[in-house]
Structure 1
Amino acid sequence: MDMHNLLTFMAVATLLVMSPGPNGVLIAKTVPLFGKKAGFSNVWGFVAAFYVHGTLSIFGISLLLVQSAEAFLVFKLCGAAYLIWIGIKSLVGAFKAKRLDVATPAQTEKSSVSQRSAFIEGFFTNVLNPKVSMFYLAAFPQFLSVNDSPLTAYALVTAHSMVNLIWFSLMVLMLSRVKNMANNVRFKKWLSSVTGVIFIGFGSKLALMKAS
């Protein structure tokens, strides 16, 4: 694979990463409420999920999701259910939002747990999105030759991951400026409500999506 193919793939991947989707909505919800560390945990969860999608695509397992209607149905319904669950959880959080004026040691520990939860949430939000695997299945044949090794394919996955890491890290840094607004109970309720509805919308759209 030459440099031209790599740069072309990165350009296509950049457009995919920058397009509106569940990852961006999750970052927009996490950072104002839980801070930069939780946001970066989301991002690293996204990155880890790319390698899962890449591995499945490289070894042909993702092809089963496209060729088997039953496998695709199960996978997309799992992803849809997870997105809808995040949305419902956000809506429930909107009704339970309370102002925290003074941080306590117990709250500090909870923040640490939230970072681990943020990584898992980011990972599953991305790994259960069949559109990523479908993108790899469509892109790999165009940018890889028969003689290329799996390591070359992983180079594309790494390039995609780095684009994702840079874009969403910038988003985390920008959104961290409004973290203090989250101390306002009205803002917290509004943000949780909006992101909850959006996630439910993404989940519903995914549930209705058909394999191409």
Structure 2
Amino acid sequence: MGLSNLLAFALATFFLVSSPGPNGALIARTVPTSGVPAAFANVAGFFTAFWVHGTLSVLGLSVIIMQSATAFAIVKYVGAAYLCWIGLKSLYEAFVQKRTLPDAPPARPARSLRGAYLDGLLTNGLNPKVSMFYLALFPQFIPAGDHPVASAYVLVAIHSLINVAWFTVVILLFARLATFTRSGGFQRGLKGATGVVFLGFGVNLARFRPVG
């Protein structure tokens, strides 16, 4: 695989990773409410999910899921339900729990590292668009003479590392604003906004139809 192919894939991946989506919304919610370690646990979940999707694509299982209307619908609706659950949970915390937790910033992480990791893993692992991304781009960037499995894993590694690098910058940026973002009013507003965003992503995923 030539350097030009790798750079082109890296550029396409960067635009995908840096565009607004469930991952960014999850990080934006986690840093001020649960802390930097929990946000990095989110990223570890993203990283794991990419390798799971990459492996499924390499093994051909993703193709089977995409070609089976039933299997695709199950994965899609489970993923949509999970995103909507995060959204509803955030809205509940913003507009219902505020009565019992008026304006005190959290003294301890609101999400354990294990829970934050699972949030990152499930947000990506239950999203069939990740597999579709790999299946759409792998054939375009893997030359005919290259070993398909090895080349595919190189591309997954590039995608994963760009994701880690991008969200490391995002996490550190939010951490610099920690004093502001830890206020009770900001957190309630953030949870409300996050809830709406995740509900939107969930509905969008539920309505998603693969082209072709």
Structure 2: 5+ residue runs without aligned partners? Answer: none
Cα distance between partner residues in 1 of 2:133 and 2:36: 29
2:179 counterpart of 1:193: no
User: What's the % identity of the aligned pairs?
Assistant: 48
**SS at the partner of 2:48?**
helix
1:53-202 matched pairs, under 5 angstroms: 53-94=53-94, 95-97=96-98, 98=101, 99-100=103-104, 103=107, 107=108, 111=109, 114-146=112-144, 147-202=146-201
- Find the counterpart in structure 2 of residue 47 from structure 1: 47
Structure 1 runs of 4+ off > 6 angstroms? none
Partner deviation per Cα, 1:78-105 (whole Å, 9 max, x = no partner): 11000000001111111214244684xx
- Find the counterpart in structure 2 of residue 29 from structure 1: 29
**SS at the partner of 2:20?**
coil
- Kept in 1: contact 2:32–2:182 (CA 8 A): no
- Find the counterpart in structure 2 of residue 38 from structure 1: 38
Cα distance between partner residues in 2 of 1:21 and 1:159: 19
- Kept in 2: contact 1:33–1:179 (CA 8 A): no
- Kept in 1: contact 2:38–2:111 (CA 8 A): no
Structure 1: 5+ residue runs without aligned partners? Answer: none
Partner deviation per Cα, 1:117-173 (whole Å, 9 max, x = no partner): 111101111111111110100001111134414122111100000100010110000
Aligned amino acid, residue 131 of structure 1: K
- Kept in 2: contact 1:84–1:204 (CA 8 A): yes
Aligned residue-pair number: 206
Cα distance between partner residues in 2 of 1:203 and 1:113: 21
The alignment's TM-score, normalised by the length of structure 1, stands at 0.91
Aligned amino acid, residue 198 of structure 1: V
Cα distance between partner residues in 1 of 2:81 and 2:106: 36
Q: Relative to 1, partners in 2 of residues 1:21 and 1:101: Cα closer, same or farther, differing over 3 Å?
A: closer
- Kept in 2: contact 1:144–1:153 (CA 8 A): yes
RMSD: 1.7
1:183 Cα deviation after fit: 3.7
Cα distance between partner residues in 2 of 1:5 and 1:210: 29
